[in-house]
Amino acid sequence: MNLIIDVGNTFVKLAVFHQDSLLHKLVCKPEEISKALENLLNDFPELRKAITSKVGRLDAFEIYEIQERFKVIELSSKLKLPFKNLYATPDTLGVDRMALVSASVKQFPYKNVLIIDAGTCITYDFVGSKNEYFGGAISPGIRLRYKALHNLTANLPLLDTEMPNNLIGDSTFNSIHSGVVFGAVKEIDGIIEEYQKKYSDLTVILTGGDANFLSNQLKNSIFANSNFLLEGLNFILEFNTD
């Protein structure tokens, strides 16, 4: 059994895999990780191997807690990866994007794949039909767009994410919802269409925290998978296990 530890900017995701099957998943705050690990070991005493992917930070005690309990590897550009990385600056490629690309070559080998991760940022990652990673794009996610309108203007309020009822906003609140949500949807659809012009056999994956929120609004055909990053981390762990 494998333990996946995905450290985000705010929360930590923990997942237990047996081979390719996701058995259990939970989300906690970084300061709660010691108790969460204890509970997982009670439920899954067979856990031995772990991989950590850190976008956010853990303190020294939390890292010690993980290393004491498991044979752990940390995802970085130095690790053996299941794809050829053609990114011009491979050392700056985010570990989350490495995991997503790994999941794509596991589940859709030797296909042209566009992975869209709708989270804090919206990232676009393209993998070619020879399992070569070329790069992609990064833009602000939905929450960042709401926050930017509030933080960088004098009078616009900070709103909770909400699906607008109408393209034409009839109030400041509704205008913000329309601009943020429909703006993100049209961006994603537009980028998909540009890739489809070049790759007619394109497979599109949508994942991330806002995947379910956005998926029904997109006009293009996609595969929505909220666990895609975790599945990629599990594949990398297996790929680096003797």
Which portions of the chain are predicted below pLDDT 50?
A: none
Helix residue spans in 44-169 (DSSP H): 60-69, 95-107, 142-151
Burial of residue 42 (CB within 10 Å: 0-12, 13-18, 19+) is exposed
**Catalytic amino acids?**
96
> Quick one: pLDDT at residue 56?
74
Q: What is the pLDDT of residue 134?
A: 98
**pLDDT, tens digit (0-9, with 9 covering 90-100), for 132-178:** 999 999 999 999 999 999 999 999 999 999 999 999 999 999 999 99
Write down all domains in the chain, each with its CATH number in brackets.
Answer: 2-74 (3.30.420.40), 84-233 (3.30.420.40)
Looking at residue 58, its pLDDT comes to 77
Q: What is the pLDDT of residue 9?
A: 74
**pLDDT at residue 221, as a whole number:** 82
- Dihedral of the alpha carbons of 192, 193, 195, 197, in degrees to the nearest 10: 160
| DSSP designation for 158 | P
From residue 131, how far is each of 80, 101, 105, 117, 127 by CA, in Å? 14, 9, 6, 19, 6
